[in-house]
Amino acid sequence: MWGYRQAAAYRPGTKLTGFKVEATDGSIGKVDKHSEDAGAAYLVVDTGPMIFGKEVLLPAGTVVRVDVQEKKVYVDRTKAEIKDSPTFDKEKHLDDPHYREQLGTYYRRPLG
């Protein structure tokens, strides 16, 4: 869950900050921050006030495709699934293994 899929075409070193993020049913915002650390890769997405009005953390395993030309990241979740995800905690996301486990469990569940 915490690594980019090989089929996503993510190349290490690619700066994703500012890329638009597309859920299966439309745009959800832009990448505010990302990590490519082995076993701990993620995206922090700023959804802006028009959608959810918050930041969300998406494990890199949710990324199905990175389009460098269009500057877009496509994920395999709906807007509702992302909106209902555990609350993003800026303080915990880097250091709290229980928080990562909670997120991983949420995003590993069956789609839909």
Q: Is residue 89 part of a domain?
A: yes
End-to-end Cα distance, the chain: 17
Q: Is residue 44 part of a domain?
A: yes
Residue 12: its pLDDT value, please?
93
Give the C-alpha separation, 27 to 70, whole Å.
13
Q: Which CATH number fits the domain that encloses residue 44?
A: 2.30.30.240
Mean pLDDT by 10 residues, the chain (112 residues): 92 96 96 91 87 86 96 96 87 81 86 58
Domain containing 99: what range? 6-108
Among 2, 18, 13, smallest CA distance to 73 is for: 18
Residue 48: its pLDDT value, please?
83
Residue 51: its pLDDT value, please?
67
Q: Is residue 1 part of a domain?
A: no
For the chain, the domain total comes to: 1
